Structure 1
């Protein structure tokens, strides 16, 4: 059986992604999650490059890893320095890792233009940098930067750089598609030559500038490389790196390569979301395998078939990567969708129930008005329960008023909401301020109701989105408001639609509170 080792570079290459900035604490938390996932190597960063990475490697000396080996990354020595005195090489030697990854130039353009040295000098730099670190007891991987571009421009020289690395004792030579423009057939042609001319242990490191990073990495594995490098969620400079969240299940489930254990693969979605959360980025819901939409079904024909046999529209079982099947509700829905959602909501609804047609017609009419329930399943559950007579009204609105006031041009806008609600014959009248009219209304409503329903103190408004539905009407356009709420254990979405943004927000807020109370 072919053995493929997984090398994660989220903490170094992934951190070069636009909008991503990991603190030392972030990196320490992520490395422990990657270790739990069972990855063979985790590249921690460049210890000679910045104080953050220096601190990280010092902290990692206190944290034992169960499955993974921590790797320090850096460049070959500078041409003007003796290898034993080069600051970068010394930092790598002192980083406290068993394994070091060095990158060097394979493309003659970079040697002569970027480094400004001769081609022969570059070969010397590659050789003595690897030899020195080997003499310090390090296992050395060599990243052949820009290899495929270099091979395309000057194949003989690109191969000479690999020869220099191999002779110097590099344990694995990783071929890098640094600019991300190589096509799979070009990669295959070059890699087959490398196997024939250089041999030894080879790896692959691909970027996604032409949307080929995963395809190129899998092609390389098919040809015989033994190490695959990538990042969680495909984070990386420009368009990103090969996405390990796609590579891992493709290697294990499609190519039958036992790169990580079955129970570790089941944690893939969890780790993927964890990394996005630490990076403070929304998770890509359409990401294969681990995205919320990866196993979501919307069309009525699809849902009807999936209810009989999931294989009809799912290429793998979602549980294998820690995901789940979802049925979406929209005006494309059929009765199968509604029955599946009723089952999910633990609502007894028979396939011959007259309420089924009623709910379906109501759904299509609401979506025609501009409602959208794909991101507002809380509102849809309430709609189903109302149709079935299973809904309880927890309060009545007597009235509310929202004030938005700006006294001077230089001052911030002041927002206050006053509200009167009636619960069980008792009227509560209260007011609250907020950083906007909707925020003030949310505060006032929950302030009025928490006296009667203390569980509402757990509820937080997590996200608020406004979509203009009829832009041709200008400021009088109909808008859709989507709200995501959570109580620390569960998140739910609700929706409101109106020409008045406050009214649309009110609808979504009321649904959010009623959903919490109905499910408490």
Structure 2
């Protein structure tokens, strides 16, 4: 019997409630497409009634196309003082124009009395009326029963009554939330079985979901247990980000469902994209990746101990519960020069680069990659730089220009005015030396302008490049303001969007590295497109 499951990602909403986890509208759009590529079924984009950033995101996404995923807008039941048609939160959900609407309501009687400060019957009324009002505006209507498990333990009859009102309002999936994250698996099991008995009389079209927080380190366990009991939808976030201790970690749940529990879902067909997706989210959030994370951590399949290494070389099953390639990760033998070669070969195939795994070039790329990673380079979110690295190694990358020198000058002449920045640059292109200067909003912007001014006379297509994002991450705080930094630059043209990276103790140098890679990638891709068309 086929067991299907719906994967509902709330990284862009619940994940952003984590401390130090911040995303721009551009970041959220890029992550949405990455989650769509992974095969996530539902992507919760945010709460349009709570902040302008979410409104901007949904407006932007109205002009975007997702291949598989459905976008969801999130909000609450109406205020008791407002009728539905005048409730700003409900109107914002409709204005988001998403195929899916998810709203939450109170399941715990103390929240009704102390948070909403209304009567229990009034809460039941706003649950049903809010859902019924939204029903005609959504292809899918989900109801998050907030604090359901705590509410059930304190007042079982009332918690179940809130679910009944949600069903009457038209919700097709009732998502049981462990909002405080305090439930243990044996408690979850008993409560879900009771709920299943309760809703059995309301028809087969009503399904259950699970939304677990991780305050007791049981969010993944509770989610997998719920699914094993017949729950059809699981909600969580990439890398487990979320308020306080985080949400159920989808990068642990998804492979468990596909590799260990026999479930079917679109994302389970794309498990080999899981590692890249997890790293991509961290890179755009400008946060260090948890290397010890199951499945997608860089140490998840790393072997160092002598006995382990010897056994793994003979048979990986001796010390690995799944094959790392199945989740897009790779085995690392920490005392071996072979670490990372499988990842190199995977990327070479993706980029269309012919690379013999037994060739010295493959070994040299691995060696160079190790050295660059030691320096602080990371290529998740900067695959354009990685492709250029590989093409230089195999000798298929053209030299479009050569840097002779640059200078950036910052001067603040009056305290009440912004500083003035000028960059000068010397380049050689095809035997011609070019010397240009440009003013800019800061040294990086001035350098970018000066470089383009120098190169566009030779490569007019560079005028198409638009720099859409620029991030700086301090890699170590040991040297204070002299710390090494990693710069990630995101660029686009009429055809595609790409990321490049630079690392240095000098932020200008790191930025320069990323900008040069961006221009080189653009010129290389234009040459490839021209070759295909001719």
For normalisation by structure 1, the TM-score amounts to: 0.63
**Residues 409/174 of structure 1: CA separation in 2 closer, same or farther (3 Å cut):** closer
Instruction: Summarize the alignment of residues 456-471 of structure 1 with structure 2, pairs less than 5 Å apart.
Output: 463=470, 465=472, 467=474, 471=478
**Residues 518/163 of structure 1: CA separation in 2 closer, same or farther (3 Å cut):** closer
Query: Which residue is 2:454 aligned to?
Result: 448
Q: Shift of residue 196 of structure 1?
A: 6.1
Query: Which residue is 1:225 aligned to?
Result: 231
Query: Which residue is 1:335 aligned to?
Result: 337
**Residues 89/453 of structure 1: CA separation in 2 closer, same or farther (3 Å cut):** closer
Query: Which residue is 1:413 aligned to?
Result: 419
Q: SS in structure 2 opposite 1:408?
A: coil
**Residues 337/382 of structure 1: CA separation in 2 closer, same or farther (3 Å cut):** farther
Q: SS in structure 2 opposite 1:182?
A: coil
Q: SS in structure 1 opposite 2:257?
A: helix
Q: Shift of residue 430 of structure 1?
A: 1.8
Residue 215 in 1 paired to residue 218 in 2? no
Contact 2:79 2:87 in 1 (8 A): no
Counterpart Cα distance in 1 of 2:433 and 2:66? 59
Counterpart Cα distance in 2 of 1:466 and 1:308? 40
Any idea what the Cα deviations from partners look like across 1:192-215, whole Å, max 9, x if unmatched? 454567766644233345554333
Counterpart Cα distance in 1 of 2:491 and 2:320? 30
Contact 1:338 1:356 in 2 (8 A): no
Counterpart Cα distance in 2 of 1:387 and 1:465? 27
Q: SS in structure 1 opposite 2:425?
A: strand
Counterpart Cα distance in 2 of 1:162 and 1:374? 47
Q: Shift of residue 479 of structure 1?
A: 3.8
Query: Which residue is 1:111 aligned to?
Result: 112
Q: SS in structure 1 opposite 2:264?
A: coil
Query: Which residue is 1:372 aligned to?
Result: 376
**Residues 21/148 of structure 1: CA separation in 2 closer, same or farther (3 Å cut):** farther
Q: SS in structure 2 opposite 1:433?
A: strand
Any idea what the Cα deviations from partners look like across 1:157-176, whole Å, max 9, x if unmatched? 54565577789998765432
Range with bigger deviation, 377-386 or 172-181 = 377-386
Any idea what the Cα deviations from partners look like across 1:208-241, whole Å, max 9, x if unmatched? 4555433322121223334444567767666665
Counterpart Cα distance in 2 of 1:47 and 1:478? 38
Counterpart Cα distance in 1 of 2:392 and 2:53? 55
How well do the aligned residues superpose, as a CA RMSD in angstroms? 6.6
Contact 2:38 2:267 in 1 (8 A): no
**Residues 309/392 of structure 1: CA separation in 2 closer, same or farther (3 Å cut):** farther
Counterpart Cα distance in 2 of 1:373 and 1:221? 39
**Residues 385/299 of structure 1: CA separation in 2 closer, same or farther (3 Å cut):** farther
Q: Shift of residue 428 of structure 1?
A: 2.1
Contact 2:181 2:212 in 1 (8 A): yes
Counterpart Cα distance in 1 of 2:270 and 2:471? 35
Q: Which runs of 5+ in 1 are unaligned?
A: none
Instruction: Summarize the alignment of residues 430-445 of structure 1 with structure 2, pairs less than 5 Å apart.
Output: 430-445=436-451
Contact 1:13 1:231 in 2 (8 A): no
Query: Which residue is 1:185 aligned to?
Result: 186
**Residues 352/247 of structure 1: CA separation in 2 closer, same or farther (3 Å cut):** closer
Contact 1:107 1:147 in 2 (8 A): yes
Contact 1:126 1:165 in 2 (8 A): no
Instruction: Summarize the alignment of residues 214-363 of structure 1 with structure 2, pairs less than 5 Å apart.
Output: 214-230=220-236, 241-242=247-248, 246-260=252-266, 323=328, 334-337=336-339, 343=345, 344=348, 346=354, 360=367
**Residues 90/515 of structure 1: CA separation in 2 closer, same or farther (3 Å cut):** closer
Counterpart Cα distance in 1 of 2:501 and 2:447? 16
Q: Shift of residue 146 of structure 1?
A: 1.6
Instruction: Summarize the alignment of residues 503-518 of structure 1 with structure 2, pairs less than 5 Å apart.
Output: none
Instruction: Summarize the alignment of residues 390-401 of structure 1 with structure 2, pairs less than 5 Å apart.
Output: 397-401=403-407
Counterpart Cα distance in 2 of 1:483 and 1:422? 25
Query: Which residue is 1:429 aligned to?
Result: 435
Counterpart Cα distance in 1 of 2:417 and 2:507? 24
Q: SS in structure 1 opposite 2:409?
A: strand
**Residues 460/211 of structure 1: CA separation in 2 closer, same or farther (3 Å cut):** farther
Counterpart Cα distance in 1 of 2:231 and 2:359? 53
**Residues 90/123 of structure 1: CA separation in 2 closer, same or farther (3 Å cut):** closer
Query: Which residue is 2:531 aligned to?
Result: none
Range with bigger deviation, 303-312 or 391-400 = 303-312
Counterpart Cα distance in 1 of 2:455 and 2:366? 30
Q: Shift of residue 441 of structure 1?
A: 3.2
Contact 1:304 1:336 in 2 (8 A): no
Q: Which runs of 5+ in 2 are unaligned?
A: 202-206, 528-534
**Residues 207/435 of structure 1: CA separation in 2 closer, same or farther (3 Å cut):** same
Contact 1:37 1:267 in 2 (8 A): no
Instruction: Summarize the alignment of residues 141-220 of structure 1 with structure 2, pairs less than 5 Å apart.
Output: 143-155=144-156, 158=159, 173-195=174-196, 202-220=208-226
Q: SS in structure 2 opposite 1:336?
A: coil
Range with bigger deviation, 424-433 or 454-463 = 454-463
Q: SS in structure 2 opposite 1:419?
A: strand
Contact 2:330 2:340 in 1 (8 A): no
Counterpart Cα distance in 1 of 2:134 and 2:401? 73
Contact 1:483 1:494 in 2 (8 A): yes
Q: Shift of residue 147 of structure 1?
A: 2.0
Counterpart Cα distance in 2 of 1:507 and 1:210? 44
**Residues 455/210 of structure 1: CA separation in 2 closer, same or farther (3 Å cut):** farther
Counterpart Cα distance in 2 of 1:272 and 1:338? 18
